Amino acid sequence: MKLLVQNKNMVFASFQRYFSMKHQNSKVQDLYDHCKNTFSPSGIPSPSSQALHKLSSILDTIKPVDVGLKEEAADDDRGLGFFGVNQLSRVARWAKPITYVDIHESDSFTMCMFCFPTSSVIPLHDHPQMTVFSKLLYGSLHVKAYDWVEPPCIVKSKGPGHAQVRLAKLAVDKVLNAPCETSVLYPNCGGNIHCFTAVTPCAMLDVLAPPYKEYEGRKCTYYHDYPYSTFSAGNGSLCDGDEDEYAWLAEVEPSNLYMNSGVYAGPAIKL
């Protein structure tokens, strides 16, 4: 009788694990299925607002465990934070690599994760012709993002090696703290040009649609932002509102970008 009870307990535990894994699978699978049904390789036609809202809603439900992650310890000591105490220690603090995890990539969309150590940075970069959904899974992340001013406002740069700078308007400048709603940027608004700085260890789940593809005009370009006053002297007023909300962006080669490839350890996706 004791053995029978033990066997029943083992069977019950197996069912618990099965249904728990099934529940985990459903979130990632639902995300994949919805992306597959929503996006096309060319991004045309544009997805409906209802489809995009549903995608955000699915992402809002996803937690670290659903994608095979567990939160880093709160006392993680892999950096001093982007408000660091000593400029001399900048290299040592910022040299910790970000881990990039590829979940799925197709001609229509990319699902991926970025795991940030404290103080790590993805520099200012763009997502041309792309819509990007970003779900902060845990931790705190500073986001600074711009959109181009239209029609384009371009002036000659005074900086060495930069032929010109272009005017952009600040769209986002805040710290995200998990749990929080999914952030969405669009081809022409929402902060298409952005940078991330990890305030604490954190992880971000991204959906990019369509994905980067250089020969189709979707090349990732990096930028440096200059205060509005840097290139505005003698050009009159080129902004509409507070000058602090504007900046000049110059294309640059990425620096201090340290990234490793990680292995996805979450539930498998049925393609």
Q: Is residue 49 part of a domain?
A: no
Q: Is residue 15 part of a domain?
A: no
Q: How many CB atoms lie under 10 A from the CB of residue 266?
A: 20
pLDDT at position 154: 87
pLDDT at position 1: 43
Q: Is residue 31 part of a domain?
A: no
Q: Is residue 140 part of a domain?
A: yes
Q: Is residue 202 part of a domain?
A: yes
Q: Is residue 270 part of a domain?
A: no
Q: Is residue 54 part of a domain?
A: no
Q: Is residue 129 part of a domain?
A: yes
**CATH number of residue 209's parent domain:** 2.60.120.10
How large is the angle between the packed helices 49-61 and 2-38, nearest 10 degrees? 150
Averaged pLDDT, 157-161: 62
Which tens digit of pLDDT belongs to each residue from 77-127?
Answer: 444 444 443 333 444 444 578 999 999 999 999 999 999 999 999 999 999
Q: How far apart are CA 86 and CA 61, in angstroms?
A: 39
Chain position carrying tokens 């099965």: 18
What's the structural domain count of the chain? 1
Which tens digit of pLDDT belongs to each residue from 28-73?
Answer: 999 999 999 999 988 788 899 999 999 999 999 999 999 999 875 4
Classify residue 160 as left (phi > 0), alpha (psi -120 to 50) or beta: beta
Q: Which domain holds residue 148?
A: 69-262
Residues contacting 113, CB < 8 A, separation 6+: 67, 69, 100, 101, 103, 137, 203, 204, 205, 206, 262, 264
Chain centre to alpha carbon of residue 15:
36
